[in-house]
Amino acid sequence: MRKYKKDEPRVSIRARVCADCLEVAGVDRVVTMDLHSPQIQGFFRKPVDHLYAAGIFCEHITSMGLENYVIASPDEGFAKNARYYSNRLGVPLVIGNKQRPSHDEKAEILGIIGDVCDKTVIIVDDFSISCGTIIEVSNRLKKNGAKDVYAFVSHAVMSKKGVKALENSSICKLFTTDTINNPHISKSEKIEIIPVSNLFAKAIKIIHENDSLSELFQ
């Protein structure tokens, strides 16, 4: 889901290749959740229904009973998505100023835009592999006076190394969905899995009954 554009010479746009392969295999409709880039929907010639974990995450955040907390986007690119959380929950939004100085995918957090002093911070993002970005953001947040840091990530693509890095980090807990069957995360006490099967089941039922999916986005 990350390869939605041509980022190297003489390579294909891999998300488009995956879309073509699915269609050749006989897929006639696609249901997805939290694509890294919405433009991936345009790579399919078949209908695509795009679901969001934000509603389920917001319900869970509310159930935690936190006080004096803010939502944090790890970078400017995810700020629009993070703003949905802050608007729905009625709390401020802070944004990490991130750059990648080289091609090794290692992120450098230059600063935090917004006040986090003595506040609980909830980082929201669409996926994580190495946990590098959210850990760097968490470290910067703690330096800026944040009390506790939690993370909500739609897709837990973490490797064994990423899980270990998370467990040794200042993040109190990471919440994710079960969109990916990842054996590396199941035994970590710092990771809690929130099921989204009910949301997909509702979407499939609505599609088969030829009704509108709009009720899932209210």
Is position 2 within any domain?
no
Does the pLDDT value for residue 88 go beyond 80? yes
Regarding whether 177 and 160 lie in a shared domain, the answer is: yes
* pLDDT score of 2 more than 80: no
Total domains in the chain come to 2
Q: What is the mean pLDDT of the chain?
A: 88
Same domain, yes or no: 62 and 167: yes
Q: Which domain holds residue 66?
A: 54-195
Pair (143, 40) in one structural domain = no
| SS3 label, residue 152 | strand
Count Cα neighbours of 214 within 13 Å in the Cβ-side half-sphere: 2
Residue of 160, 164, 175, 67 lying closest to 123 (CA atoms):
175
Q: Which residue has the higher pLDDT, 214 or 65?
A: 65
Provide mean pLDDT across the span 152-175.
93
Question: Could you give the residue numbers annotated as active site?
Answer: 98
Task: Name the percent of the chain lying above pLDDT 90.
Answer: 59
Which has the higher per-residue pLDDT, 103 or 45?
Answer: 45
- Burial 16-45, CB ≥16 within 10 A → b, else e: beebeeeeeeeeeebebbbbbeeebeebbe
Same domain? For 40 and 84 the reply is: no
**Number of helical (H) and strand (E) elements in the chain, helices listed first:** 6, 9
Share of the chain above pLDDT 70, in %: 88
CB 134 within 8 A of CB 171: yes
Q: Which residue has the tokens 């929950």?
A: 89
Q: Are residues 132 and 25 in the same domain?
A: no
Same domain flag for 92 and 102: yes
Q: Label residue 105 by pLDDT band (50, 70, 90).
A: low
Is a pLDDT exceeding 70 seen at residue 218?
no
pLDDT at 12: 67
Residue 115 is predicted with a pLDDT of 93
Same domain, 144 and 39: no
Mean pLDDT of the region 148-177: 94
Question: Burial level of 167, CB count in 10 A (0-12/13-18/19+)?
Answer: middle
32 and 85 together in one domain: no
Query: What pLDDT was estimated at residue 43?
Result: 85
User: What is the per-residue pLDDT across 8-61, written as a single tens digit (0 to 9) for each?
Assistant: 666 667 788 888 999 999 999 999 999 877 788 888 899 999 999 999 999 999
Residues 194, 175 contacting (CB under 8 angstroms) = yes
Q: Does position 109 have pLDDT exceeding 60, yes or no?
A: yes
**Residue 31 vs residues 50, 85, 187: alpha-carbon distances, Å:** 6, 22, 29
